[in-house]
Amino acid sequence: MRLHDLKPRPGAKHRKKRLGQGESSGRGKTSGRGGKGQSARSGSSIRIGFEGGQMPLIRRIPKRGFNNTRFKVSYHPVNLSDLNAFDAGSVVDAETLKKAGLANGSSDGIKILARGELTRKLVVRAQAFSASARAAIEAQGGKAEVVGKAKAVA
């Protein structure tokens, strides 16, 4: 097989729709753009929610109540089974979890959850623990230490 023998799989390539090729083509005259107006012009694009200058619906409806999104604390979840990657007796904190690739991305802290089974004795330092995860860590003879308040790990 040579480079010139390569072809796309059957059905992978579609013929480009050829607009404006005469009345009988089915895509002639207005080329699928309807009648006149802003959307019929070339280079035209209208942002989502734009209503031609009329007050948009999202701004017309009343906004009421409290939204907690601004004040929410989001934890990065780490399961007990993931902690088996560390050597017995080692200290597992935000930095070591980040190096191991278990707590990537932005969050306000790390929360250890009880999914899976822990098979090693570890000292785990995180911003939060589920009750069953704390019990599982201590059952193996390890320690579950809550480290300060949740703050950005990034």
pLDDT band at 150 (very low <50, low <70, confident <90, very high): low
pLDDT band at 106 (very low <50, low <70, confident <90, very high): confident
Q: Is the pLDDT of residue 152 over 60?
A: no
pLDDT of residue 151: 54
Nearest to 116 by CA among 98, 96, 102: 102
Q: What is the DSSP letter of 105?
A: S
Q: How far does Cα 47 stand from its chain's mean position? A: 24
| Fold exhibited by the domain 71-146 | Ribosomal Protein L15; Chain: K; domain 2 (3.100.10)
- Determine the straight-line distance between the first and last CA of the chain, rounded to whole angstroms: 49
How many residues are recorded in the chain? 154
Name the pTM for this structure.
0.56
Q: How many angstroms separate the CA atoms of 97 and 113, rounded?
A: 14
pLDDT per residue as tens digits for the range 13-58: 999 999 999 999 989 999 999 999 988 999 988 999 999 999 999 9
Angle in degrees, CA 59, 63, 64, rounded to 5: 175
pLDDT per residue as tens digits for the range 87-97: 998 999 999 99
Domain extents for the chain? Answer: 71-146
Q: How many angstroms separate the CA atoms of 14 and 109, rounded?
A: 48
pLDDT band at 154 (very low <50, low <70, confident <90, very high): very low
**AA identity, residue 121:** K
